[in-house]
A and B are shown apart, each in its own frame.
Chain A
Amino acid sequence: MKTTILIINHNGRALLEKSVPAAEAAARAVEDCQVAVVDDGSADDSVSYLIHHHPEVKVLTYRHRGFGPACNEAVASMVTEAVVLLNSDVVVSEDFLPPLLEDLSRDEVFAVGCKFLNPDGSLTDALGNRTSGEWRRGLLHLHHETDPVKLAETCPQLYANGGAMAFRRERWNALGGFDDLYHPFYWEDVDLGYRAWARGWQVWYEPASVVYHDQGGTIGRLFRNREIETISARNAVLFTWKNLLEPRLFGRMLAAQARWTADDVLISDQPPRARALWAALARVHAAARRRAEEQRERVVPDSTILSRARGKPW
């Protein structure tokens, strides 16, 4: 399977020094695999570093538009069957690629996610492993497995963390890639995985494909914590508005979202959910358009998606 490892970079020169050599070593372990870096309008010397130190790496330079649009444009321009998407703050293990591509070769699979470890090899608070979800209190609440025993199984999951995932390019194009409704970051990978399940495809977790993730390495440098919380909460609302099509469940979630606005008085110092609701309202038109598109393509109902994504291990 012709494969491209695609690293997305924005002002991450220091991160590239670790991630690119690791990706090159991993690419050499399989046939017909190249490494490409998308530079999303960096102001630092990322591009010149790549040209001088990694001449074999294909470099695509775009003006800065954010993670999702950069991925979409890069994937659309490539001639490859499989893409392995990596954040610039992710360092892969040398043998991470073969198990990932083996899982991806199964007919029903759209994407496969890696096993994320902290840079020191620990699992504490590591996000993106064997993901699942539950509709509760107005939102899809995401769960990231941390039990080492459960994390040893190859199994379905709700979505593959966009920090390190492999997918089939053809199906990515059919899904339209990452949705810029969630610009600038967060929830685009959850959305992609959910929509893949909704079309009858599958997303898997592969524990043999180990990557090391310095969480917050990119976004944490560029945004304040409160800003990150608000954008994440807004996108969680937009995800519900776009994807939850079952009328009764949708009505219940929206009623719960209405109640959030009183939480600052009833409780105190809540996550900025009320602000997130108003921010989401500014994008309601775009969400409605995507909802209509999603409805036309949906073959699996909402109530089935989450249970399928918690399916049995292979």
Chain B
Amino acid sequence: MVTEQAENPERVLLLTFARRGEEDVIRGARAALQEAHPGATAFAVATTESEPALRAAGISELVTLDGSRSASAVLREVAARRPTAVAVVYSDSAWQGHLKLEIVALWSRARAIYRCGPDGSRQAMTRASLWASVAVKGLQAALRLGAGALAAGTAFCWLRTAQALSGGNRADRA
């Protein structure tokens, strides 16, 4: 028996954070990919939040990132499946956020890279432009993380000092 996959060995990887209720975004991206890669099999990386939406949108081949195994194991599995094309599905048309998915897209080593908007639009991008996006967003994330650490660190010092100055904790003494 000749399977569909054997007739067309192309595999496209769909990367999305879409949740239940956002199935149309996934369907739109999938349709846009079908136009560029007719007959290709689609698979996706799913989180616990996105898995129900992906299944409801008809994507059953999922690599699940649910905390039961490491992110590097998931990345290795994605690369082992050798996708020919990868699409990152954004929740806005300005292509903001989604750094985690862009890193997976880079790691997948797919030849064709697309970004899809919530309206089903599709835009091809080069590996270099994906690298640039990852670099800029990585810097943004690092700066934000620094600001967050400053805020949480300030709070931590302030609160712990107040706690220390107020004397004993009855629960601890008990």
A interface residue numbers (CB < 8 A to B)? 198, 241, 245, 247, 250-251, 254-255, 257-262, 264-269, 274, 277-278, 280-281, 284-285, 287-289, 291-293, 295-301
Interface residue range, chain B:
35 or more
Selected contact of B144 from candidates A245, A262, A289, A301, CB within 8 Å:
A262
Determine whether the beta carbon of B155 is less than 8 Å from that of A280: yes
Contacts of A293 in B (CB 8 A): 166
* A12-B150 Cα distance, complex, nearest whole Å: 42
Closest 3 CB pairs of A and B: A261-B148, A268-B97, A292-B166
Which of A251, A254, A258 gathers the greatest number of chain B CB atoms within 10 Å? A258
- Main DSSP-derived SS at the A contact region: helix
Determine whether the beta carbon of A299 is less than 8 Å from that of B17: no
Determine whether the beta carbon of A257 is less than 8 Å from that of B141: no
B interface residue numbers (CB < 8 A to A)? 17, 90-92, 96-100, 137, 140-142, 144-145, 147-149, 151-156, 158-163, 165-172, 174
Determine whether the beta carbon of B163 is less than 8 Å from that of A269: no
Determine whether the beta carbon of B148 is less than 8 Å from that of A295: no
Determine whether the beta carbon of A268 is less than 8 Å from that of B152: no
Q: A284-B159, A292-B166 are in contact. List 5 more A-B contacts (CB 8 A).
A: A266-B100, A268-B90, A269-B92, A284-B154, A298-B169
Which of A260, A295, A301 gathers the greatest number of chain B CB atoms within 10 Å? A295
Determine whether the beta carbon of A264 is less than 8 Å from that of B159: no
Known A268-B17, A291-B162: A262·B145 in contact at CB below 8 Å: yes
Contacts of A280 in B (CB 8 A): 155
Closest to A264 in B: B97
Contacts of A268 in B (CB 8 A): 17, 90-92, 96-98
Determine whether the beta carbon of B171 is less than 8 Å from that of A300: yes
Determine whether the beta carbon of B144 is less than 8 Å from that of A297: no
Contacts of A291 in B (CB 8 A): 159, 162-163, 166
Selected contact of A281 from candidates B100, B141, B151, CB within 8 Å:
B151
Closest to A302 in B: B171
Contacts of B148 in A (CB 8 A): 257-262, 274, 277
Selected contact of A288 from candidates B97, B158, B172, CB within 8 Å:
B158
Determine whether the beta carbon of A264 is less than 8 Å from that of B155: no
Determine whether the beta carbon of B165 is less than 8 Å from that of A292: yes
Contacts of A245 in B (CB 8 A): 163, 169, 171
* A250-B169 Cα distance, complex, nearest whole Å: 15
